[in-house]
Amino acid sequence: MLVIEKVDTENKKQVRRFVELPFRIYANCPQWVPPLNVDAYNQLNRKKHPFHEHSAVEFFIAVRDGRDVGRIAAIENKPFNKYHNEKTADFYFFECENDLEAATALFNTVFDWSKARGLDTVIGPKGMGPLDGYGILVFGHEHRQTMTMLNYNHAYYQSLVEAQGFVKEVDFVSCYLPADKFQLPERVKNIAERVMQRGHLKVKKFKSKKELLQWADRIGAAYNNAFVRNWEYYPLTQREIDFVVGNIMTIADHRLIKIITHDDDVVGFLFAFHDVSAALQRAKGRLFPFGLIDILLEMRRTNKVSGNGMGILPEHQGHGGNALLYYAMGNTLLDFSQFAHVEMTQVAETTEQMRADLKNLNGIEYKNNRVYRKEI
């Protein structure tokens, strides 16, 4: 018999079952990268994760004959709906065995929950903030997940989701750039150099992690304002900004974080990170006793860097800011001789200029995560 359990987030045993289910589903999958336990458990912690302060989230587990076979979360992002004047719900944390009945029961639970709240559309996978990856992976399953910045799933997930009547909302494409073929077009280089000569916009490099942290508040403000025209945007609370920036700063190498300044204001940024996915796989969610040490060592060993966070304030777009960001990215590759590969993750297909720019840099689109929509 199949039943759907609503997770009591105060029940440690239920929370553990929800968090640990993916470890069994991906037990023999060399491409999956597990999240750190501290992050996975925080998402269900209504006191720690800032998203719970303004929105509604419920978590569900599908159980067949006493065995957990799937899970999902139903989300009402209230600031998003208010900003866009919509009545949408989101689904996230969907994991399931290749079991159509279980998947259908999970999604029906989300649909019923959403209707009861007066919502008319379900979108997803779309999580609890900008640190959560978007979409179902529909192309590129043979490639290892880029840390936990990008969702990974078995290929059969696409059919389970589409069987519920979902249709494509938007694709997020990831681009692969071999460092030895990275070519900054002369046009972009010339624009960047002219902008720097005029002196209105500058590339800020950080001398230390301490200096980077001193700019954290200004970077957070720019992050919140850079994506106002994007499909997924909603205004973050100060707690959410602090949460995002705090997570970024924890794993950031100051040499890989570049910002564009106008006077003393941050108007653009490029976040790049050592890809430590191999160490995360070995850690199996645990930082201690040896996971953290291995991650720090992997930062020296890895030959791959991931760009996940690139933006410029709308009022500075078209004035050379984008060219400066690419110029900074190119110089970063030259400064770090250890990198052979660059991945720009989760570029929305709606950002046509950025996708065109990445192709001009000899980028190859090699992963595609699809967000779905269903009217209910």
Render pLDDT for 329-358 as a digit per residue (tens, 0 to 9). 777 766 777 888 888 888 777 776 666 777
Residue ranges with strand state E in 200-339: 201-204, 257-262, 265-274, 304-312
To the nearest 10 degrees (0 to 180), the angle between helices 321-335 and 186-198 is: 110
How much is the pTM? 0.92
The span from the CA of 316 to the CA of 3, in Å, is: 53
Residue ranges with strand state E in the chain: 2-6, 56-64, 67-76, 88-96, 121-124, 136-139, 167-178, 201-204, 257-262, 265-274, 304-312, 341-348, 364-375
pLDDT for 213 equals 86
Integer angstrom CA distances of residue 76 from 110, 179, 313:
11, 41, 27
Name the one residue in this structure whose structure tokens are 């009861």. 116
Residue 246: count other Cβ atoms within 10 Å of its Cβ: 12
Answer whether the bond into residue 35 is a cis peptide, omega within 30°: no
pLDDT for 327 equals 81
Radius of gyration of the chain from its Cα atoms, rounded to whole angstroms: 21
Three-class SS state of 172: strand
Tens digits of per-residue pLDDT, 255-288?
A: 888 888 888 888 888 888 899 999 999 999 998 8
Residues 6+ apart with CB under 8 A from 372: 123, 124, 136, 161, 162, 166, 167, 168, 169
Contact predicate 125/166, CB 8 Å: no
Residues 6+ apart with CB under 8 A from 280: 33, 34, 35, 36, 147, 148, 295
How would you write the pLDDT of the chain (376 residues) with one tens digit per residue?
Answer: 999 999 999 999 999 999 999 999 999 999 999 999 999 999 999 999 999 999 999 999 999 999 999 999 999 999 999 999 999 999 999 999 999 999 999 999 999 999 999 999 999 999 998 889 899 999 999 999 987 678 999 999 999 999 999 999 999 989 888 776 666 777 778 888 888 878 678 888 888 988 988 888 888 888 888 888 788 889 899 999 889 888 888 778 888 888 888 888 888 888 888 999 999 999 999 988 888 899 989 998 998 888 887 888 888 777 777 788 878 777 776 677 788 888 888 877 777 666 677 776 777 889 999 999 999 9
Residue 42: count other Cβ atoms within 10 Å of its Cβ: 15
